[in-house]
Amino acid sequence: MSDKLEKIVSLCKRRGFIFPGSEIYGGLRGTWDYGPLGAELKHNLKQSWWDSVVKSNENIFGIQAAILMNPKVWQSSGHTETFNDPLIECKVCHERVRSDQNEEKKHHEEWHKKRNENIDWTEPKKFNLLVEAKLGVVESEKSSVYLRGEITQGVHVNFKNIIDSMHPKIPFGIAQIGKAFRNEITPGNFTYRSREFEQMELQWYIKPDQQEWKRWFGYWKELRMKWYLSLGMDKDRIHFRKQDSEELAHYAREAWDIEYETPFGWRECEGIHDRSDWDLSRHSKFSGQDLSYFDPETKERFIPWVIETSGGVDRALLFFLLDAYCEEEDRVVLKLHPKLAPYKAAVFPLLKNKPELVSKAKEIYDSLRKEFSVVWDDRGNIGKRYYSQDEIGTPVCITVDFQTLEDGTVTIRDRDSMEQKRIIISDINGLLN
């Protein structure tokens, strides 16, 4: 693990962002629990995505599909047959890794080399990534189901329901944020590859026309990249990469990844995929239901093509943390965008042993927390409070001092520049909006 990633892991544990899953029982590899600050950060990230995709478009409909679905869904989508990773096993320690992950293989080989051990790999074997579960009251009569390996299929099996209930005009989209599960053999790099994770996806349905496809594929590529940049991600550390034919998923005709430069290499945070009519055609065939769209203007009936934007919530959160982490001469600061920061502001009394300062600061704090996520902090001296808030990414610190009692102004300290200015109390809401 790189030095920077180790520091992020340490900060997340120490400050209440992310904890190892089931830690008091020794943990469960590939699972993570989000603490108070991590839960806020994750909520803000998902809300920003929802606002930019669903709320900003009148022809995009949000849903929440069930995690457990009829097993036939995964047969129809091809996942029970093709959702496989090629695995190889080390003949020395019997560790298994994906044969297409060259960096992981190299790291494993170097680990053995340091111990003067020569290793050999087995031939690749296919391993299905779907996580199986059992449903039923009587043990001997339980039936097998799968925890969804992706959230996509929950949208496509509801295509007809959206058509019948919302009567959308093509092109239109269906969006969803939700949990997915994969039987990852080599989870690692903190939350980058986990067995339980969240996705944020849009399925955009268009007429089966090449010009329409070209127009909308380019449109969503550009818009998704703009979202990351609008939240402050370093433009020099994020780029597009086109997948080659060997990488493409079984449903994809073309795919582009938005990648971020992490300490462990360029890694995908979102994909823009051409799914053509794969999903709707398969589900129409296997379910016996008509999943076509009737265009009232042209009087045509057709199976729409699908353009998908699929991003990982946990991966994006990790990349924003990596991007925001900054070590300066005498402090560590998370320069998170204010829309993402767990707290929009911290409120302090200059001295906690002065009741008049504490009372006024509490009054301001109670007023602000009705509208904003703010935190009260009266621990230690004022300098330590500032640096504590810097480390968790709080954009603004508000200090109530003796001048506040005289003229109704407070000291506002900016996280990034550390500059301070005085404003009147009634202007604080406008500053935080």
pLDDT digits over 306-346, tens only?
999 999 999 999 999 999 999 999 999 999 999 999 999 99
DSSP 151: S
**Which tens digits make up the pLDDT trace of 155-166?**
999 999 999 999
Q: Is 70 exceeded by the pLDDT of residue 83?
A: no
**pLDDT band, very low/low/confident/very high, at 246 (cuts 50, 70, 90):** confident
pLDDT category at 270 given cuts 50, 70, 90 is very high
Pick from 359, 344, 356, 355: nearest CA to 398: 344
- Span 3-74+131-324: which CATH code? 3.30.930.10
Residues 6 or more apart from 56 whose CB is under 8 A from it?
none
Domain chopping of the chain, boundaries:
3-74+131-324, 84-128, 343-432
Report the alpha-carbon angle 420-421-425, nearest 5: 125
Superfamily of domain 343-432: Anticodon-binding domain (3.40.50.800)
Q: Tell me the pTM.
A: 0.89
Q: For residue 320, give the 3-state DSSP assignment.
A: helix
Phi then psi dihedrals of residue 430, to 5 deg: -65, -35
Give the span between the Cα atoms of 100 and 88, in whole angstroms: 9
Angle (CA) 56-60-65 rounded to 5° is 120
| Nearest of 268, 273, 272 to residue 315 by alpha carbon | 268
So what's the pLDDT on residue 94? 64
Which one, of 146, 155, 145, lies nearest residue 64 by Cα?
155
Please enumerate, as own/partner, the contacts of 421-424 that have beta carbons within 8 Å and a separation of 24 or more: none
SS3 243: coil
pLDDT tops 80 at residue 358:
yes
Closest-CA residue to 240 (of 295, 293, 303, 309): 309
Best CA proximity match to 262, nearest among 321, 313, 309 = 321
Question: What is the C-alpha separation between 46 and 18, in angstroms, rounded?
Answer: 16
Q: Do domains 3-74+131-324 and 343-432 have the same CATH topology?
A: no
What secondary structure letter does DSSP report for 140? G
